[in-house]
Amino acid sequence: MIIPPADRLSKIKEYYFSKKLQEIRQLNNKGYNILNLGIGNPDMMPSESTIKALIHSAENPDHHGYQPYRGIAELRDAIGHWYSKKYRIDLNPDTEILPLMGSKEGITHISLAFLNPGDKVLVPELGYPAYRAVTEMVGAIAETYPLLEENFWSPDFEYLYQADLSNVKMLWINYPHMPTGAPARSEIFDRIVKFAREKRILICHDNPYSLVLNDGSPISLLHSEGAFDVCLELNSMSKSHNMAGWRVGWVSGRREYLDQIVKIKSNFDSGMFRAIQDAAVVALENTDDWHEQRNSVYRQRRELVYEILRKLGCTWNEGQVGMFIWAKIPDQIEEVEKWIDDILHNQKIFITPGFIFGEKGNRYVRISLCSSKSMYQETLNRLKDFKL
């Protein structure tokens, strides 16, 4: 006899990368030596001072107990200072910043805090799969809103204003955008805040990529006039500080919203390890030179990824921001998934298919910049005789 799972799992699929990584492991166990260019898992180290702060704090016998659900005051203060420096926004560290164990958990906490079964959530037609998955997991209804490729994947505001917004409670956006790399733009943020205020919809902005290969000034949605009335912003140290496995992020917004999220969060965890918080405080003090050094490495890798994409016959927009390159596959490729699987099994190279981010990604692939130069060079070697 097997006890059946909850009904909610009938709508939720295992995360694509969870299954694909298992397949890659199985191929590697057979000696295939797959080059994985798919996942945005930063391979560079955090700053040296960050590591030293972690060790120093972990050696304190008083730092191994439970920690506050809202994070230590020093971390909230550091986040507030960082927001002021990077985004020119003054946040109250005591009431407008809530540290999280990575921003991904924030997607779940926010959804549980604000969505009732049957509420509708607008998710971009290309976006992080967790927006839809978590929406459905909590019993709400995910509806897609279009992005305009001709306007560098900005929201289709004409569609949004004409759509039936009955029962729509929340809308997810993400700029710089994943997977397309579209940069954040103040005029888009201003329009989305204006729309949300008119329609009484909560906007949730996922903002982890603003310091990665961004030649302009980083932008926060909270900078737009009236944003605190209708917006929450998630941020993370995973990409910007090479701390993906540390699980340090936060949500920012008005106190009334964060107080509701804490009700959920405090029933999920018992606080973040103190040493990680202390190290995060130091990491948030990384110099502009440190960030530029990280971006310099990504720029060098990006040139090699461009060469790989040329070998594959792909085209792309060079104005992209972030740690991925989003590229359109050649028109003559009819069966996209088969083409990608052929590259995996014949050239021993894994690249991410665009369809996992939404139907509009069917003719696209995404390559991560989180591999070594030697891996990209080996990829080019394996593609030396590649034919479309």
| Helix ranges (DSSP H) in the chain | 16-29, 48-58, 73-87, 103-114, 129-137, 157-162, 186-199, 227-230, 255-265, 274-283, 288-311, 336-346, 373-382
Domain positions in the chain:
7-45+288-382, 49-283
Question: Angle, to 10 degrees, between the axis of helix 103-114 and the axis of helix 129-137?
Answer: 40
CB 323 within 8 Å of CB 88: no
CB 108 within 8 Å of CB 85: no
Per-residue pLDDT, 70: 96
CATH code for the part of the protein at 7-45+288-382: 3.90.1150.10
Distance CA 295, CA 49 (A): 19
CB 79 within 8 Å of CB 285: no
Give pLDDT < 50 ranges for the chain.
none
CATH code for the part of the protein at 49-283: 3.40.640.10
Distance CA 111, CA 138 (A): 7
Per-residue pLDDT, 15: 62
Residue 231 amino acid letter: C
Residues 368-382 have pLDDT tens digits of: 999 999 999 999 999
Measured in residues, the chain has a length of 388
Distance CA 204, CA 220 (A): 12
Describe the chain by its helix, strand, coil percentages, rounded to 5. Answer: 45, 15, 40
Per-residue pLDDT, 288: 95
CA-wise closest residue to 338 among 358, 319, 355: 355
Kindly tell me the burial class for residue 87, based on how many C-beta atoms sit within 10 Å of its own C-beta (0-12, 13-18, 19 or more): buried
Per-residue pLDDT, 28: 85
Per-residue pLDDT, 14: 63
Residues 271-329 have pLDDT tens digits of: 999 999 999 999 999 999 999 999 999 999 999 999 999 999 999 999 999 999 999 99
Per-residue pLDDT, 13: 65
* Bridge partners (DSSP) listed for residue 93: none
Neighbours of 378 (CB within 10 A): 16
Residue 19 CB contacts under 8 Å (≥ 6 apart), including other chains: none
